[in-house]
Amino acid sequence: MDQQQRRVRYLRVSLTDRCNYRCTYCMPEEGIEHRHRDELLSLEEVVRLCAVFARWGVERVRLTGGEPTVRKGLVSLVTALRQLPTPKGKLEVVMTTNGERLEALAESLARAGLSGLTVSIDSMRPDRFRQITRRGALARVLAGIERARAVGLGTIKLNTVALRGFNDDELGEITEYAWTRDMVPRFIELMPMAAGRLFVPGELMPASEIRSAIATFAEVAELVPDEARGIAGLGPATYWRVPGGRFAGRRLGIIAAMTENFCNTCNRLRVSASGQLHACLARDEAGDLRGALRSGDPGALEERVRAVLGAKRERHGFALDGTGGPRKAMISIGG
Ligand code: SAM
Ligand code: SF4
């Protein structure tokens, strides 16, 4: 593999384009046209694909979706992926989930070797939580988080899309909930997906405002950049630390795709549930890995990956007026 491919250490694999929630910023209310079952990568194909990326130097795979916990066979998949060799050891497997099924699954996932979890939670108020997810029940997610902590499911992070006029008054509360449980809160700027077909009950909250809100909550003048920049700097989040006071040393992450562009350091690749390889979340362009995997030609996959990496543009096209994003919804690409 060439230099560019070696830089890619982190792969996100979407297991499904289905979800038991319908978050307003992720999916249009009418839903999306789901792929036919044959069009999805089988779990055996997911393992084969990850084995190739692991050989090329990918150290960690994040299972996502849609909602990964709605895919049958998830636990066995984690077990199989954990066996895959990488140049540095065994493949690490983590997952992003809405947490709805976590209470039932946490223990088996921990036993299968899942080593980290990100749970999305946009509000600590049941009515708001329901409004933003259209389907979710906050109490179930909180119970899932407690279960995951109890079974020692690695590092747990929370993902919150920060929305002015919706949850900007509870960022401190969410942060405190995370910090008092040794979890890392992460705030995400709203990205304009699905070509304007989404109605979101709030607006983009810029990273600078998020930091001020948390600094005020933590009673410090400002947050300071955290040198570690997250676990081995693998993701797009920047990490910030509280320099003093009662929360001294606590960290939070910010994913600021809109106002603090990180394209120049982005080493992310995303494979959709149907095997489309996206080098950028903000663009519809993708390379078809499913065809390459099913062709039986061992060189075809490498060629397709090279083509996608070669076509990776300098920057995403997201604009602050909400234009420039992909036609696809987040749920179709895999967040
Ligand atoms: N279903 C899982 C979940 O919700 O965590 C995994 C998939 S979801 C697409 C992954 C992440 O993308 C979630 O944390 C969600 O909040 C985030 N997300 C979805 N649409 C977004 C958007 N338009 N802007 C910013 N973040 C978004
Ligand atoms: Fe489902 Fe996650 Fe998208 Fe919400 S953000 S609709 S939980 S895939």
> Which of 86-100, 277-291, 295-309 shows the highest mean pLDDT?
86-100
- Pick the residue with more confidence: 234 or 57? 57
Compute and round to an integer the Cα radius of gyration of the chain: 19
Q: Give the pLDDT band (50/70/90) at residue 282.
A: low
Average pLDDT over residues 316-332: 63
Q: Identify which ligand lies nearest to the alpha carbon of 32.
A: 2
Q: Over the chain, what is the mean pLDDT?
A: 88
**CA 15 to centroid of ligand 2, rounded, Å:** 13
Residue 32 domain boundaries: 3-332
pLDDT value for 91: 97
pTM: predicted TM-score of the whole model, two decimal places: 0.92
Residue 277: C-alpha distances to residues 87, 280, 294 (Å): 22, 9, 15
Atom in ligand 1 nearest the alpha carbon of residue 257:
25
Residue 237 CA to ligand 2 centre (angstroms): 19
Ligand 2 pocket test: pick from 17, 30, 67 the residue with the most ligand atoms within 8 Å of its Cβ. 67
Residue range 162-174, pLDDT digits in tens: 999 999 999 999 9
What is the predicted pLDDT for the residue at 314? 59
Question: Average pLDDT in the 109-120 region?
Answer: 97
- pLDDT tens digits along 188-227: 999 887 666 778 888 999 999 999 999 999 999 999 999 6
| 79-113 pLDDT tens trace | 999 999 999 999 999 999 999 999 999 999 999 99
CATH of the domain at 199: 3.20.20.70
- Residue 4: is its pLDDT beyond 70? no
Name the residue with higher pLDDT: 219 or 325: 219
What is the number of the ligand closest to the CA of 159?
A: 1
Q: How many angstroms separate the alpha carbon of residue 50 from the centre of ligand 1?
A: 22
Residue 232 has a pLDDT of 40
Span 234-252, average pLDDT: 90
**pLDDT at site 136:** 95
Counting the structural domains of the chain, the total is 1
Confidence of residue 60 (pLDDT cuts 50, 70, 90): very high
Rounded mean pLDDT, 121-147: 97
Band of pLDDT at residue 268, cut at 50, 70 and 90: confident
CA 244 / ligand 1 centre spacing (Å) = 31
